[in-house]
Amino acid sequence: MDRKVTLAHGDGGELAHKLIQQIFVSAFGNETASHFDSAFLSVGSGEIAVTTDSFVVHPLFFPGGDIGKLAVSGTVNDLSVAGARPLFLTAGFIIEEGFPLSDLRTIVRSLAREAEQAGVHVVAGDTKVVEKGGADGLYINTTGIGLKRKETGIAPERMEAGDAVILSGTAGDHGIAILAARGELGLITDLKSDCAPLNQMIDRLFQGGIDIKMMRDPTRGGVATTLVEIAEDFGVQIELTESRIPIRNEVKGACDILGFDPLYLANEGKVILIVADKDRERALEVLHATPEGSQATLIGKVTGRGHGQLVLETPLGSKRRLHRLSGMMLPRIC
Amino acid sequence: MQTLFEPADPQVAKELAEKVNRLADRCREKTGELPAFMEVCGSHTMALARTGVKLILKGHVRMISGPGCPVCVTDQKQIDAMIELAESEERIVCTFGDMMRVPGSKRSLLSAKTEGRDVRIVYSPLDAVRIAEENPDKEVVFLGVGFETTVPVLAAALQLANEKQVANFSMWTQAKLVQPVLRTLLSVKKVKINGFLLPGHVSIVLGAKAYQFLVDDYRMPGVISGFEPVEMLSAIYQLLQMTLEGRPAILNNYKSVVRTDGNEAARNMMFRYFEPADAAWRGMGIIPQSGLAIRREYSRFDAKKKFHIHVGQPKKTRCRCGDMICGLAAPDECILFGKACTPLHPVGPCMVSTEGSCAAHYAYLREEG
């Protein structure tokens, strides 16, 4: 383990995984629960789902959203992919001295609007102001509370050979949109972040009776790291077909120039579903009928249990292993 | 929207790969050896690994990484000097992202940043000039690493700083030239290859005719190629054809962007601010006139003259990056690969650069872990 925390510890890849396992999980225990985006707590006859997340995005405003919208989306999605119905949010704000009140108002309104549209209530909050230089503008922490769906069949141990792996839309939009919004690229203009709460889209899947065995939103570390985690944590072999993975032209172009791999870029409005093969087409139909899932695609399949590996079949027919994001992705020189 | 790989291409690419392998097998029957080609450019190294081309050619064609990753060829003492530059609180060091995690003798720029030094990633050296304008009380140093592709942009930054008279801007240059290193590989290192997959980006500036010396002096074929699987495969096919026929030539397979004469304006820009100078290459020592130094008339922007940086001897490791860039070893032939040396704890630059052969192998061709 490194002696100091670096930015790469926050990128959702191999270092972040080690940080969580070696410092947090080892202190708090409960290793099994750490494999899910929300915890389920038994209360009476039902189960309450709880999750928490902090948002430190820079810049605070970006095409397709802002930190307020992101805070709702991230937390609502963590509850939703765990198979819970999001109901309540808390919101804690850490604000740097000198932060413009007008920006704060805009962000809080955005958070409120997004929560209303997602059908969740903001029920508690907190504000702390730190000295100038003590924070980078504004951070938000949200805790989400929901109820476990009765109809959910989410259980990773049910994954088996033949199950379909579906991605609900294009990969990497948020990662490139944020980079572009920082003004560091100078060549991308109209790409928007995919940032959106997905609970209503996921509602439709459950209402349609789709047999979802596993679900996760591919945020930091991207589609590849998320699927490596699923493969390793639950001992399944997953194979992706590279030529099926949907990606926007702008994202592909930016990745070509920068030397980034779109499979490792963050998404904030996408979900990866692993569904029973018999429900594959129906799941795609349901997703295609929603605005967030209109570009959903079957990107691969579960090929068996036991190995815990993610494999990518290239268009040439060769197969190569995919691993967790290893350190930060850094732009190349030429 | 499209997919990670254009849907129209896969079948073409697959059929082409099969043709390449059949031709390669004929080549092997004739010569008794696996045909071997060197991809000069680090972006080709990455693209060959990422797209699966390298895997599909395995056992038929040997693709060898060359000296075209600007980070990997930078001498360790120079890396130490750059880290030393960042030590002063009076300075802001700006760099391309690739340089951040390259280990010097003791640490990297990233660890210097973690310890509070002002090290910033920029996407263009012009941004570093802007940062200098915004921070008049600090010295802003840009770390200028790169080949002919990058140098015109370095020159543009010097031009901007000169026009705006930004006195607190300077550049620590480690720019290098492709032609002298290829000559060194062929004449000094005697690297065993049948031809070169020539760089697409650098050739935009140099032009196709800049490689004619490979044929004239070394009877070595070369094909300039883009970075898509079909482009790389068709270039390899042409290299195999020339190898079989024993008729070397320089072919331009990237005509949409590379001209015979290259980009004269970019070259003029480059030589207005830089002049050829001896340069140290990792694993190869000093190659005469293989680098570029800031011209004397602009020496006020030359960080090497502006600041007196002293560095000690490089730390000896068992890292084989030096052999790697000469095409004398493959990543998995290094005893450190994937064990003591990983992207999180790199021993050498080939493991951290986004164009490094070890990084490509670790990310895309590694089976274990």
Which pLDDT tens digit goes with each residue over B246-292? 999 999 999 999 999 999 999 999 999 999 999 999 888 999 999 99
Phi first, then psi, for residue A333 (nearest 5°) are -85, -50
Which has more confidence, A38 or B151?
A: B151
Crossing angle (nearest 10°) for helices B229-245 and B10-31? 20
SS3 B367: coil
For B366, name the nearest residue in chain A, comparing CA atoms only: A321
Segment A294-316 mean pLDDT:
94
Q: For residue A316, what pLDDT is reported?
A: 87
Per-residue pLDDT at B369 exceeds 70: no
Which residues in chain B are contacts of A248 at CB distance < 8 A? Answer: 1-2
Q: For residue A304, what pLDDT is reported?
A: 95
The token duo for A36 is: 């899910």
SS3 B239: helix
Task: Report d(CA A30, CA B192) in Å as an integer.
Answer: 56
Q: For residue A2, what pLDDT is reported?
A: 64
Task: Report d(CA B171, CA B245) in Å as an integer.
Answer: 48
Percent of chain A with pLDDT over 70: 94
Instruction: Measure CB to CB from residue B1 to each of A248, A323, A332 and give the nearest one.
Output: A248
Per-residue pLDDT at A69 exceeds 90: yes
Q: For residue A18, what pLDDT is reported?
A: 85
Cross-strand bridge partners of residue A61: A66
For B49, name the nearest residue in chain A, comparing CA atoms only: A320
End-to-end CA distance of chain B: 33
Phi first, then psi, for residue A55 (nearest 5°) are -120, 120
> pLDDT averaged over chain B?
92
Q: Are B10 and A249 in contact (CB < 8 Å)?
A: no
| Complex prediction ipTM | 0.79
SS3 B263: coil
Top residue of B4, B21, B257 to mutate, by most chain A CBs within 10 Å, is B4
Beta strands B139-146; B285-294: pairing state: unpaired
Instruction: Measure CB to CB from residue A243 to each of B4, B147, B343 and give the nearest one.
Output: B4
Cross-strand bridge partners of residue A122: A89
What is the pLDDT confidence band of residue A326, given thresholds at 50, 70 and 90?
confident
The token duo for A288 is: 């295609």
Question: A314 and A322 in contact (C-beta within 8 Å)?
Answer: no
Burial of A209 (0-12, 13-18, 19+ CB in 10 A): exposed
Q: Are B229 and A315 in contact (CB < 8 Å)?
A: yes
Which has more confidence, A38 or A239?
A: A239
Half-sphere exposure (Cβ direction) of A295: Cα atoms closer than 13 Å: 15
Q: For residue B300, what pLDDT is reported?
A: 97
What is the pLDDT confidence band of residue A264, given thresholds at 50, 70 and 90?
very high
Q: Are A326 and B362 in contact (CB < 8 Å)?
A: yes
Which pLDDT tens digit goes with each residue over B345-361? 889 999 988 889 999 99
Which pLDDT tens digit goes with each residue over B317-332? 889 988 888 888 999 9
> Which residues, other chains included, contact B94 with Cβ-Cβ below 8 Å and sequence gap of 6+?
B119, B120, B121, B122, B125, B127, B128, B131, B140, B141, B142, B143
Alpha-carbon gap: A171 to the closest alpha carbon of chain B (Å): 9
Which pLDDT tens digit goes with each residue over B53-102? 999 999 999 999 999 999 999 988 999 999 999 999 999 999 988 888 88
Helix H segments across chain A?
14-19, 26-28, 67-81, 101-118, 173-181, 199-207, 222-234, 249-258, 280-288
Q: Does A4 touch chain B (CB under 8 A)?
A: yes
Per-residue pLDDT at B8 exceeds 60: no
Beta strands B195-198; B222-224: pairing state: parallel
What is the pLDDT confidence band of residue B136, given thresholds at 50, 70 and 90?
very high
Q: Are B4 and A332 in contact (CB < 8 Å)?
A: no
Which residues in chain B are contacts of A172 at CB distance < 8 A? Answer: none
Q: Are A332 and B353 in contact (CB < 8 Å)?
A: yes
Which pLDDT tens digit goes with each residue over A132-176? 999 999 999 999 999 999 877 899 999 999 999 999 999 999 999
What is the pLDDT confidence band of residue A189, given thresholds at 50, 70 and 90?
low
Q: Are B229 and A316 in contact (CB < 8 Å)?
A: yes
Instruction: Measure CB to CB from residue B4 to each of A262, A326, A331 and give the nearest one.
Output: A262
What is the pLDDT confidence band of residue B368, given thresholds at 50, 70 and 90?
low
Q: Are B55 and A318 in contact (CB < 8 Å)?
A: yes
Instruction: Measure CB to CB from residue A170 to each of B1, B55, B227 and give the nearest one.
Output: B1
Q: Does A233 touch chain B (CB under 8 A)?
A: no
Q: Are B344 and A327 in contact (CB < 8 Å)?
A: yes
Q: For residue B1, what pLDDT is reported?
A: 62
End-to-end CA distance of chain A: 32
Which residues in chain A are contacts of B147 at CB distance < 8 A? Answer: 334
Which pLDDT tens digit goes with each residue over A85-109? 999 999 999 999 999 999 999 999 9
What is the pLDDT confidence band of residue A3, given thresholds at 50, 70 and 90?
confident
Name the A residues in 245-274 with CB < 8 Å from any B CB: 245-249, 252, 256, 259, 261-263
Q: For residue A260, what pLDDT is reported?
A: 87
Task: Report d(CA B198, CA A135) in Å as an integer.
Answer: 48
